Amino acid sequence: MKSTRISIPVFSPLLTTRELLKEARVIRAAILGEVIASAIVRAGAAMRRATARYRRWRRAAETYHSLRMLDDRTLHDLGFDRSEISSVAADFAVTRDLARELVNRSRNRAES
């Protein structure tokens, strides 16, 4: 979001009370608009983080349950023990998110 500067006018002693109140309302409205816009942007970012966290948790849970269904020999062939299933599932979910984020960043740079 682009930040805008609000210029506060220097009030002339010749302004009437009504004109002074009108100017104050304009300035207040501009400041409130910026505060509200900033709050909306921050709330959107918080929602995106929460959604990503939830998706990562679901992927880890799905991976965990899939690995739990495998027998010990298959797990050994994959290179880990049954006691490592939780950490492998969590690492997989995080690694997948990081890889996706890196791909998205490189695409954004290429488009710029």
Q: What is the pLDDT of residues 11-64, one digit of tens each?
A: 566 778 888 889 889 999 999 999 999 999 999 999 999 998 898 889 889 989
**pTM of this structure:** 0.60
For 52, the token pair is: 């990503």
Segment 59-78 mean pLDDT:
92
Cβ neighbours for 75, distance < 8 A, ≥ 6 positions apart:
67, 81, 82, 85
Q: What is the pLDDT of residue 92?
A: 84
Domain residue limits, the chain? 17-111
